[in-house]
Each structure stands twice: as structure tokens, then as C-alpha cells.
Amino acid sequence: MEKITKGAVLARFGYALSDATRAHILMTLVENPAYPSDLADQLAVSRQSISNHLACLRDCGLVLAIPEGRRTRYELADGKIAHALEDLLSLALAVNPEHQPLKA
């Protein structure tokens, strides 16, 4: 397996967090592993959308898909991800209150 650079790791993490739904999925998985259907219901997002976001998070290396019979449970790939997310949430960002983020 090819070693990934530190910059690439940060870029993947940033890309994963650049979408609010993916960020919500990650924060949900910090609490407990979950199934796609439960995530869709909890986040009020279609199952197809959740599936696409979970595929992205898998490709970024942030979540693992654990087969359980006919279902697949998702969990964070590493406990350090939960710690990193909590650290990010604790940051006091210097944000211009007039700034309007770009809408996707």
C-alpha cells in the first residue's frame, strides 16, 4: 500500500468536512456506530444521499463499513478521528460575521 502524505491526509479530512451532511454523519458516528437507514432517518436525508456520503467518507478513509449479515454498520475508522473532530469544534475561529459561506 502506498504511503499517503500529510497534506493528502489533511485534504481528505477537509473534503469530508466540506459538506454539512458528511460532517453530521461523522459527528453522529463519534457517539455510536450506526446503520445507513438509521443515519438517513436521524439526519432527515434520503437513503441514497446517505449512501453516497458514506461512500465518500469510506474513500477518504474516515469510516469503516462492517458487514453484519444483510446489513452494514458504519463506524469511525480510528478513535483519533473523534478526538480530532472534538478539537476542531473547540476552536474559536476568527470569522467575519458578515461573511456568507458559498452555497453548494
Q: Indicate the pLDDT class of residue 3, thresholds 50, 70 and 90.
A: confident
Chain segment 26-67, per-residue pLDDT in tens? 999 999 999 999 999 999 999 999 999 999 999 999 999 999
Which candidate, 56, 58, 52, 57, places its Cα nearest to that of 40?
Answer: 52
Distance CA 56, CA 17 (A): 11
Distance CA 56, CA 98 (A): 31
What pLDDT, on a 0 to 100 scale, did the predictor assign at position 48? Answer: 97
Task: Name all domains of the chain by residue range, CATH numbers in brackets.
Answer: 7-86 (1.10.10.10)
Name the 3-class secondary structure at 44: coil
Is residue 1 over pLDDT 80?
no
